[in-house]
Amino acid sequence: MAKSSLRFRILLAAFVVTFAISGCTTTPDDTVQRDTAALIEFAELAEREGEYEAASNAYKQLALIAPQEARTDFQIKAVAMLLEGNYLAQAQRALQMIPTEGLSATQQLDFHLLAARIALAESNPAYALELLQQPPSPLTTAEQHAQYYQLRAQAYSRAGNLIEAVREYIKRGYYLTTPFDALPDTPSEIEENQLLIWQSLMMLSEEMLQQLRIDPPPDPLSGWLELALLAKRTQRSAADISDSTALTQSLASWRDHYPNLQVSENILASIDALRSGAVVHPNKIALLLPMSGNFAKVAAVIRDGFLAAHFNNNSNEALPAIQLYDTTTTESTVAELYQLAVDNGAKFIVGPLNKADVDSLLQEDEITVPTLSLNYSNDPTLMADNLFQFGLSPEDEARQLAERAWLDGYNQALTIVPEGEWAARILQAFNESWEALSGSIAEQQTYASSKNDFSGPLRTLLNIDESGQRKQALESLLGTKLKFEPRRRQDADFIFMVAFPRQARLIKPQLKFHYAGDLPVYATSHLYSGTSDREANRDLDEITFCDIPWVLRNTQGATDLDARIQKLWPDENRQYTRFYAMGIDAYHLIPQIKHMATFRYQRHSGETGSLSLNESNRIVRQLPWARFRRGIARPL
């Protein structure tokens, strides 16, 4: 809660004294009017100060003393204040106290808007959409219309239906009146709404954008889809300077087809910048990789993916020169090796791979050329203007799994992960995200990866042992043997699991054996080898997991590039396929990274996910979802 100002505290004291006195006396009409005015002033000040609970209490008091026709409006305002302060349970109770009979059209809409906000806060987008089925009456205000379509868009977005979210945001735009340039250096409501449209569209593939564009111009949705498709294609061919004329012609044609569709100049500038210098076309690239030691195999695979993307480049531009620097076969520090690469003419540097080397590089005073590290620093607060961090962080997966389980309506988690520091970091990321979503963790267990029998930790996780102990106590009390079927705990509704393929194929059947076959399981990508093996993976059925597009797409059929890699490096590809994808994305991010830094809402549809750049210059991956059915990982 915001810290109270002196004025607020003085007014609060006056408010308490006034109503303590007036509560002891009979209140005539003029006193009621004075009290009403004082309460309204107090509530409005409390709202401005961020004291939402106090504001809500004032509106509740107003509802008690106001005339009958005004009471409902004050009750609605009280609920709204509680939601602003994130007092969810109190808001729900206060909303239930509002009688629904005799509400005006405006009040009825306000009631449903508040109920929908509560449903979204409880991660129930389906119920929010059910509450908002009836379109607003023409008698309701533009502000109510805007909030109605905003909540519907948020519900669709949280349910994973991005195109319907875009439709609702477009409808919302008609009820926003703040012009683009009303507030200098501050995005207007219209521009913020359009950025939400754009971010949603950038999450869709080119194929999906093409398929959804079914209505002819000047349909607004088709206009947005066509512009997004143009941006995707421009981004893909950004390395080809000769495409700048084609882009000019395409934008002019788009404007001719959709003359009434006003799009933020910021969005148009982000597309235009792809041809006007924001895209970096380095003529010499340095790769800083550890080609010996513990990380040598991973480094070799990243290098091979990087070179595969390089030689598969169809650009009309001359290919850049690539020079490899081995960070493990020299006495030089990573900073000295970095400077050597710069002295040798490198205009872009990819690497290093080791976390310690990334930390070391971030300690340097100057990073003089754009650099894409292949791991994240240990300290998320460390950053440099010219250094961008990219990696396959399992912690990112854990956070997304927490969000997915919450959006699927679950509240109580069980967790089972391997012993060791690596899994502990993943578990910590999951726990922090899950608790931030107000989820609860009923039990956590670790297991030894080398074993085949996980009955011990699973029995403890599911409280099977306590069930057996209760049976023994009852037999001792009654002095007789009892027929007994153990029962697992009933206070959890899903399991978060970290496991590699061998362990996952053993754990899932053992969960069923221990009476937990009906509990949904969410897992990180580590449980999937990336190879379709119906028989081996049948025991993973119904497990939901996230993975990179490269792996999930190739489950359905390999791309040309993947087929080439399989032919050249069949053994490594099976085990390290995700690092090939990382190498490919690292290459394709080079001409995009400065553009993404300028327009933070831009996304790159990569092989390792839908990639965006956050304010700490870290690449954030949004991963697609899959579920095993009949031994096959099927994208959701």
* pLDDT higher than 60, residue 489: yes
Name the 3-class secondary structure at 289: strand
Residue 526 pLDDT level (bands cut at 50, 70, 90): very high
Q: Which fold has domain 395-547?
A: Rossmann fold (3.40.50)
Write down the pLDDT at residue 183: 45
For residue 221 the two structure tokens come to 């949705």
Contacts of 22 (CB under 8 A, 6+ apart): 31, 35
383 closest CA partner among 363, 353, 357: 363
Q: Where are the alpha helices (DSSP H) in 363-437?
A: 394-407, 421-436
| Report for 124-138, 326-340, 402-416, 492-506: range of highest mean pLDDT | 492-506
- Local structure of residue 176 (DSSP, 8 states): -
CA-to-CA dists, residue 305 to 192, 391, 593, angstroms? 37, 14, 18
Write down the pLDDT at residue 26: 47
For residue 2 the two structure tokens come to 């915001």
Write down the pLDDT at residue 456: 92
Write down the pLDDT at residue 241: 44
Residue-wise pLDDT for 610-626, tens only, equals: 899 999 999 999 999 99
For residue 307 the two structure tokens come to 């070179």
Write down the pLDDT at residue 369: 94
* pLDDT higher than 60, residue 597: yes
Give 88 or 488, the one with higher predicted confidence. 88
Name the 3-class secondary structure at 262: coil
Q: Where are the alpha helices (DSSP H) in 159-295?
A: 162-173, 189-202, 206-212, 220-236, 243-257, 265-272
* Residue type present at position 614: N
Residue-wise pLDDT for 537-556, tens only, equals: 999 999 999 999 999 886 55
265 closest CA partner among 188, 360, 317: 188
* pLDDT higher than 90, residue 265: no
Residue 124 pLDDT level (bands cut at 50, 70, 90): confident
Write down the pLDDT at residue 239: 45
Residue-wise pLDDT for 82-118, tens only, equals: 998 888 889 999 999 999 888 998 999 999 999 999 9
Write down the pLDDT at residue 604: 86
Residue 4 pLDDT level (bands cut at 50, 70, 90): very low
Contacts of 103 (CB under 8 A, 6+ apart): 72, 111
Q: To the nearest 10°, report the CA torsion of 407, 411, 415, 421.
A: 70
User: Could you check whether 284-390+577-597 and 395-547 share the same CATH topology?
Assistant: yes
CATH code of the domain occupying 284-390+577-597:
3.40.50.2300
CA-to-CA dists, residue 273 to 155, 260, 269, 277, angstroms? 33, 23, 6, 6
pTM to 2 decimal places: 0.74
Residue 469 pLDDT level (bands cut at 50, 70, 90): low
- Cα–Cα distance measured from residue 325 to residue 334, given in angstroms and rounded to the nearest whole number: 10
Give 118 or 5, the one with higher predicted confidence. 118
Write down the pLDDT at residue 68: 81
Helix axes 265-272, 189-202, angle to 10 degrees: 40
Write down the pLDDT at residue 531: 82
* pLDDT higher than 60, residue 594: yes
What's the whole-number mean pLDDT along residues 190-205? 90
- End-to-end Cα, the chain, rounded Å: 39
Give 605 or 242, the one with higher predicted confidence. 605
Residue 575 pLDDT level (bands cut at 50, 70, 90): confident
What's the whole-number mean pLDDT along residues 28-39? 75
- Cα–Cα distance measured from residue 509 to residue 500, given in angstroms and rounded to the nearest whole number: 15
Domain ranges of the chain: 204-275, 284-390+577-597, 395-547
Q: Can you say whether the dihedral through the CA atoms of 599, 363, 346, 371 is positive or negative?
A: negative
Residue 352 near residue 361 (C-beta atoms within 8 A):
yes
What's the whole-number mean pLDDT along residues 6-25? 50
Write down the pLDDT at residue 6: 46
Residue 352 pLDDT level (bands cut at 50, 70, 90): very high
Write down the pLDDT at residue 16: 52
